[in-house]
Amino acid sequence: MNEASDPNTPVSPGQPRLGEPAVRFRLRTTHGERSLEDYRGRWLLLFSHPADFTPVCTSEFIALAKLYDRFQALGCDLLGLSVDSVFAHLAWIRSIREVFGVEIPFPIGEDISMAVASAYGMIHPADTNTATVRASFLIDPTGIIRLFTYYPSPIGRNAEEMLRALAALQETDASGLSTPGEWRPGDDGLLPPPVTMEAADASVRSGAPAWYYKSQPVKT
């Protein structure tokens, strides 16, 4: 497992893959130093933003701050990241509090050397030359990347969708069911499709709309 920590240690550009260990890191943040190991045993939403004091980034941080307690209720911590310094982060947080009346409850890390951004594939030169794109990573309690997305700089992410995706991952882990499109907590899950003719016929006899599509209430 690679580690992005010492700014003097170069890290090769990353290509994160689902189901693989997240790259270890150590960052200076607005809440002190943080490392990937600090989040062991809990879910982590690690997300980057292009720059402080920008309108889209500000809107995203306000949205995530308002959902912070719901993330915490699902055992998930949040950690923001950009190539700006921690001093810029602090000034931005103060501005958000003073202008919008919103307290940012989670840490924001600095990545001036771009070591973490490179290791996680957050730098996309075709989008911007130096800023990170809007990358989001859901890392499970064992340190495995379970979901990631990349958005271009002008497009804000949907905080509710990040929360829904986290709940869906936890549901599939707990029940073994899949979650359909537009799934919300409490909705039915989906069983795996049959792999034999006998099972397919049984699925149809059970009243499923199609032999390959059978739902089941979740147990959690």
- For residue range 101-155, what is the model confidence (pLDDT) as tens digits? 999 999 999 999 989 998 998 887 665 555 667 899 999 999 999 999 999 889 9
Range with lowest mean pLDDT among 10-24, 46-60, 165-179, 194-208 = 10-24
What are the start-end ranges of the E strands in 12-87? 24-29, 32-35, 43-48, 76-82
What does the pLDDT read at residue 131? 63
Tell me the pLDDT band of 16, cut-offs 50, 70 and 90.
confident
What does the pLDDT read at residue 12? 44
Tell me the pLDDT band of 7, cut-offs 50, 70 and 90.
very low
Question: In whole angstroms, what is the distance from residue 119 CA to residue 168 CA?
Answer: 27
Going from the C-alpha of 173 to that of each of 36, 41, 120, 146, 167, the distances in angstroms are: 22, 15, 24, 11, 10
What does the pLDDT read at residue 136? 97
Q: Tell the burial category of 59 from Cβ atoms under 10 Å away from its Cβ (0-12, 13-18, 19+).
A: middle
What does the pLDDT read at residue 153? 87
Residue 136's closest CA among 81, 68, 72?
Answer: 81
What's the whole-number mean pLDDT along residues 150-169? 95
Residue 39's closest CA among 6, 83, 71, 17?
Answer: 71
| Residue pair 116/81 in contact by the 8 Å Cβ criterion | yes
- Mean residue pLDDT of the chain comes to 90
| Residue pair 120/14 in contact by the 8 Å Cβ criterion | yes
Phi, psi of 138 (to 5 degrees): -100, 115
What would the two tokens of residue 44 be? Answer: 């982590």
- For residue range 167-178, what is the model confidence (pLDDT) as tens digits? 999 999 999 999
User: Active-site residue numbers?
Assistant: 57
pTM for this one?
Answer: 0.88
The more confident residue out of 200 and 53 is 53
What does the pLDDT read at residue 15? 77
Provide the percentage of residues in the chain whose pLDDT is more than 90.
73
